[in-house]
A and B are shown apart, each in its own frame.
Chain A
């Protein structure tokens, strides 16, 4: 039941401890969202890109630091100098960097949009495509859910909503001065729901379906139209 077919060694005596060299987060321990944002130097970028390539190919469990060093064209010593915490620190930094670039692409969508409807529609489409089209993420979700899901479930998901509100809220304030953060969270809820539980009839990767969802359920609540009768 724990993905032994992927070759992951899970030590049954250690409960929620280390899996494939990664500690699962708990409500009190470190999480993806606590990891420092990588400085973004050329060497850091090269190492992170190498790690991403290898994870897409082999998954988290089978990717070793030696593999990453080789793929990045640097020595293991150099890799440890940049990521002294080893595999755990490297993978968390990669997750954080991917999340930051994901949010940045969504902010761009909002900034380009002329109306709230366009902004939310574009964000839903881009966010869904970014999630379902992320090869490394989809690989680990499919093959190593026991490693990656603890970063998304229950205790962690609220922090993900916080992060989405903090990242997208400021850009949405142009349209929603008072409820931008909540709008970002609400959109994140729909994106996650449809990504994890796909609908046979609604595909949020398509603009028409995303726009329909936004028009139908979001705009009436976020931008209520004053009732005609109430006008003087």
Chain B
């Protein structure tokens, strides 16, 4: 599959950020990595370097949640989907080398972007969860919209930090999801 030019530039930018960091990646680096001219990068990102880097972060966040959705696509029921999603997301964050490098060396450049993106990420997660919740028995008085918002908040919270739970351990994730997070959401069996 060949990427369109914009995607190719964004992928190249992710590679460059991994190599040089957010502060030192230049537009020229990205153009070279993507094998396009500077003018082409400017055509797609008129705001120049700052716009390119902001778009690169959004692109990578979107890619992350697309992969997450794909990963949990084939699950028998809602609780299993939650478990699989948390396990995958936790591992994917730890294994994301570019993210980890930037968090270690220049969190001050990344976190403001992620914080600004927070409400949009939350909306996207809730929009993903809501139709799934139409098919399950919710506790009395709980609407799919409210349940989706709450679960989206929890998922995002656990992706950012696992706290006292070991999200690398499937048994712990099973307990967390079934004995805590979903107890107030799903109608008792």
Contacts and interface: CB of A to CB of B under 8 A. Distances in A.
Q: Do A and B bind each other?
A: yes
Interface stretch (A74-82, A86-94, A97-105, A178-186): A178-186
A113 interface: no
Nearest to A161: B163
A221 B163 contact: no
Interface string A34-72: 000000000000000000000000000000000000000
Interface string A171-203: 000000000011001100110111011110010
B184 A149 contact: no
A220 B184 contact: yes
Nearest to B149: A199
A31 B160 CA distance: 17
Nearest to B119: A197
B93 to A, nearest CB: 8
A157 interface: yes
Interface of B is mostly: helix
A169 B24 CA distance: 44
B92 interface: no
B111 A153 contact: yes
B54 interface: yes
B108 A217 contact: no
Interface in B103-118: 103-115, 118
Interface in A137-190: 145-147, 149-150, 152-155, 157-158, 161-162, 165, 181-182, 185-186, 189-190
A81 B56 CA distance: 46
A216 interface: yes
Nearest to A157: B161
B82 interface: no
B54 A16 contact: no
B62 interface: no
B162 interface: yes
A164 to B, nearest CB: 9
B144 to A, nearest CB: 14
- Ordered nearest first, which 3 A-B pairs have the shortest CB separation? A217-B184, A149-B111, A221-B183
A146 B163 contact: no
Given A154-B161, A196-B118, A197-B118, A15 B105 contact: yes
Contact of B183 (A182, A190, A224): A224
A192 B150 contact: no
Given A146-B108, A197-B118, A197-B153, 15 more contacts: A15-B105, A24-B108, A153-B114, A154-B93, A154-B161, A161-B161, A162-B164, A189-B153, A196-B118, A197-B119, A216-B184, A217-B184, A221-B179, A221-B181, A221-B183
